Structure 1
Amino acid sequence: MRILLADDSVLLREGLRLILTDAGHEVVDQVGNGELMVARALALRPDLVISDIRMPPSHTDEGLRAGVRLRAEWPQAPIMLLSQYIVVSYAEELLASGQGGIGYLLKDRVSDIDTFLDAVDRVAVGGMVLDPEVVAQWMGRRRVQDPLGQLTAREREVMELMAQGHTNAGIARAMVVTEGAVEKHTQRIFAKLGLRGDQEVHRRVTAVLAFLQG
């Protein structure tokens, strides 16, 4: 696939380029700030944008802000955000659109090349991948009233794995059940959340967002 890299660290960009090209992908451009990321992504329309969250000038959340701006102009833009630290609210902003094609990984995950490349593939085709540490922290931020109290323990387990980006097949392997059983769980989850099959929003993303906010 064609990939755009955005990070102010030339060393990290080169490392990512080597990993991606070795896997058969093409890095179409590399940029060092959010403004250029948005401009080049709109011009090139790559299959995936991989962006650091913290970039110049303030090194806070420029990559995230750039991703939000990009999605305002290109709603289906597939974006993988990388971060050295967990900030749960970052992923929440991009997930709020209800669109798929979103990833949020800690940079440490890149060293697990197979896992990283699998995440790249899933986000590029419209899936969602959240770092397990992000999911764990997000789940700890419980509200006083849990809108998802109607979910069973098994359904919550399915939702946690769904949040990490697993397909139904992956969830089935992790839970040691059949794909049919997982499908029944997901359909019950969607029904409890009022997510109908004819809705345009990405039901899995919407369900996970509701779950993590619950």
Structure 2
Amino acid sequence: MVRVVLAEDAVLLRAGLVELLERAGHEVVAAVGEAETLRQAVERERPGIVVTDVRMPPGFRDEGLRAALALRAAHPGLPILVLSQYVASAYATRLVLESPPGGGLGYLLKDRVGEVAEFLEALRRVGAGETVIDPEVVRVLLGHRAATHPLGRLTPREREVLARMAEGGTNQSIAKILGVTEAAVVKHASNIFMKLDLDPAEGNRRVLAVLAHLRAHEGDR
């Protein structure tokens, strides 16, 4: 059971998320509809995880994302799962690159909530300190023109491994999905970092290096 603070301005979706989370055994200690109220709820309740929409009142731009970043700065290690209606890779990379290290981070499309088991698994992983990025966002980030982008140096299998890495997959989970050994995944990851000139010392936070690289080359699309 995890204590959750939820921020979503759409009343029906907020109610649906509360019911979904409580049915899964979690305790929703606050469900709010504004970014400022979100900050107040976190200060008051000190939850185990925050789930928030990107676009919140009053401007309906990135108020929820900015609130999430402010909360991570004030409470290092606080797990945060951000929900978005749109495939906005800039929001995802901003979340993971501007957040202080430590604690889980997630960026999911709202459509993913309909896949209840998948959504709850993402919540669990973020709560456990992992980074989870929606596969659709990863596909957009990987959709650069190979001919003019360093991704063109990668083999098809390395690109597949890279996509799983950017989603926050571990060596073990990637190996299981692809039907290969963990040693093979480690070898592919090593080749990826070498070809993309990234530091392999990132360890479990390698997804940040991957997203930083992809974001830096987003203009090449």
Match of 1:195 in 2: 200
Q: Deviations over 1:117-142 (max 9, x none)?
A: 11111111111111121111122256
Match of 2:123 in 1: 120
* Structure 1 unaligned blocks of 5 or more: none
Of 193, 203, 207, the match for 1:205: 207
Compare 161-170 and 75-84 and name the one that shifted more: 161-170
Of 164, 167, 178, the match for 1:164: 167
The CA RMSD over aligned residues, in Å, is 2.5
Tell which has more relative contact order, 1 or 2 (C-alpha 8 A, sep 6+). 1
Distance 1:57 1:182 in 2: 45
Counterparts of 1:128-207 in structure 2, within 5 Å, are 128-141=131-144, 146=149, 151-190=154-193, 193-196=198-201, 203-207=205-209
Please say if residues 8 and 56 of structure 2, whose CA atoms lie closer than 8 Å, have aligned partners that are also in contact. yes
Please say if residues 5 and 28 of structure 2, whose CA atoms lie closer than 8 Å, have aligned partners that are also in contact. yes
What is the CA distance between 1:52 and its match in structure 2? 0.8
Q: Judging changes above 3 Å, is the alpha-carbon distance between structure 1 residues 127 and 149 closer, same or farther for their aligned structure 2 residues?
A: same
Please say if residues 102 and 126 of structure 1, whose CA atoms lie closer than 8 Å, have aligned partners that are also in contact. yes
Higher helix share: 2
* Structure 2 unaligned blocks of 5 or more: none
- Would you say 1:77 and 2:78 are equivalent positions? yes
Q: Judging changes above 3 Å, is the alpha-carbon distance between structure 1 residues 155 and 72 closer, same or farther for their aligned structure 2 residues?
A: same
Distance 1:4 1:40 in 2: 7
Distance 1:36 1:146 in 2: 43
Please say if residues 53 and 60 of structure 1, whose CA atoms lie closer than 8 Å, have aligned partners that are also in contact. yes
* Identical-residue share of aligned pairs (%): 50
What is the CA distance between 1:4 and its match in structure 2? 0.8
Q: Secondary structure at the match of 2:126?
A: helix
Distance 1:168 1:149 in 2: 23
What is the CA distance between 1:113 and its match in structure 2? 0.5
